[in-house]
Amino acid sequence: MKIADIDLGEFPVLLAPMEDVTDPAFRLMCKEFGADMVYTEFVSADALIRSVARTEQKLAIADAERPVAIQIYGRDVPTMVEAARIVEQARPDVIDLNFGCPVKRVAGKGAGAGMLRNVPLMLEITSAVVRAVDIPVTVKTRLGWDTENLIITDLAERLQDCGIAALTIHGRTRAQMYTGEADWTLIGEVKRNPRIRIPIIGNGDITTPQRAKECFDRYGVDGIMVGRASFGRPWIFSEIRHYLQTGEPLTGLTAQWKLDVLRREVDDSVRLLDERRGILHVRRHLAASPVFKGIPNFRETRIAMLRAETRDELFELFRRVESMPEFNDPARLTL
């Protein structure tokens, strides 16, 4: 699959842009484990042109994570164009336009998935940004606002006509938020449309290597994007890559090895932010990680982990987990 001149190889697996998740440390870790392309947290165009320091920090990228995309969102043409030009100076490989974020503080103001209710403006912004920069521009969006307005098949053609280099489709409507199951049927329809010439990347509920392969095989997408399934499991990219290449599950990733990866996540987060913010930042990974799945009577330990306020406190709990006989039980499901 190619995005303009960027060759991502066959069956690429991408790390989705996620607010408060895809910071530089996590992107680099996912890249190490096999992500073919990574995306930053989304960047507010309005905050960027106002030089908000925390927003500007999101533009920091490293050569080791390339190819990397910086994603922006906004609700008017001049702001998005100016923001795109600022982003271009940070030298990402791709600028991605967020027309899919469903959260109220974004979509409720007309940005993100809110653009699904104002397609003419979405297209105007897309065309203007494509003309304004010299690097590839891509779009990430959803099936439509709700089940009564599933517009993606027509919208994909119109976005392509704006000059984008690739389109990522999340298989849910804005109304669904992140509930229910992602519907890949329309993603497949977009890909099978003979008028579509750009790569189509599918997103939504890719939680296992088997599901990743099914999405490639059944829907014919050019690439897949993994989001929430990477929480506390950055090695999922290694698992998917191995399964796509061999048809066999990846073995040898012990519970101990995975817990050591989580230790590194904690250290990286604390180093990037500071101890207090770093611990807060990593909690969602600890809550979601499959490393602790199947350990009996684990509830109190889990609560203590999510309440820990220091690295030492958290690592002491990790040591307590390691001492549990069930932790290294090979019969325990840790995938």
pLDDT score of 181: 93
pLDDT score of 326: 85
* C-alpha–C-alpha distance, residues 264 and 277, integer Å: 16
pLDDT score of 165: 98
pLDDT of 329 above 90: no
Higher local confidence (pLDDT), 297 or 17: 17
pLDDT score of 3: 98
Q: How far is CA 87 from the centre of its chain?
A: 19
pLDDT score of 134: 98
Closest CA to 11 of 166, 172, 201, 186: 201
- Percent of the chain residues topping a pLDDT of 90: 93
Q: What digits encode the pLDDT tens for the residues 140-182?
A: 999 999 999 999 999 999 999 999 999 999 999 999 999 999 9
The DSSP H or E segment spanning 245 is helix 236-246
327, 319 contact by CB (below 8 A): no
Please confirm whether the linkage preceding 67 is cis (ω < 30° from 0): yes
Q: Extract long-range pairs of 296-303: CB within 8 Å, 24+ residues apart.
A: 296/326
Q: How confident is the model at residue 332 (pLDDT cuts 50, 70, 90)?
A: low
Instruction: Verify whether residue 101 is a known catalytic residue.
Output: yes
Lowest mean pLDDT among 214-223, 228-237, 271-280: 271-280
70, 78 contact by CB (below 8 A): no
Question: DSSP assignment of 290-332, as one string?
Answer: GGGTT-TT-HHHHHHHHH--SHHHHHHHHHHHHTSTTTT-TTS
Residue 255 tokens read as: 């519970």
Q: How confident is the model at residue 294 (pLDDT cuts 50, 70, 90)?
A: confident
Q: What digits encode the pLDDT tens for the residues 117-127?
A: 999 999 999 99
Mean pLDDT computed over every residue of the chain: 95
- Single out the catalytic residue among 30, 101, 162, 215: 101
Q: How far is CA 199 from the centre of its chain?
A: 17
Query: Can you name the CATH fold of 2-246?
Result: TIM Barrel (3.20.20)
Hey, where are the domains in the chain?
Answer: 2-246, 255-322
Q: How confident is the model at residue 335 (pLDDT cuts 50, 70, 90)?
A: very low
| Integer CA distances (angstroms), 85 to 75, 78, 81, 124, 205, in order | 16, 11, 6, 16, 33
Q: How far is CA 325 from the centre of its chain?
A: 35
pLDDT score of 252: 87
Q: What digits encode the pLDDT tens for the residues 9-45?
A: 999 999 999 998 999 999 999 999 999 999 999 999 9
pLDDT of 333 above 60: no
Question: DSSP assignment of 18-66, as one string?
Answer: -TTT--HHHHHHHHHTT-SEEEPPPEEHHHHHTT-HHHHHTT---GGG-
* C-alpha–C-alpha distance, residues 99 and 89, integer Å: 22
pLDDT score of 334: 42
pLDDT score of 328: 80
Task: Please classify residue 89 by burial: count the beta carbons closer than 10 Å to its beta carbon, then call 0-12 exposed, 13-18 middle and 19+ buried.
Answer: exposed
Q: What digits encode the pLDDT tens for the residues 236-284?
A: 999 999 999 999 999 989 999 999 999 999 999 999 889 999 999 999 9
pLDDT score of 330: 65
pLDDT of 98 above 50: yes
Closest CA to 236 of 258, 266, 204, 265: 258
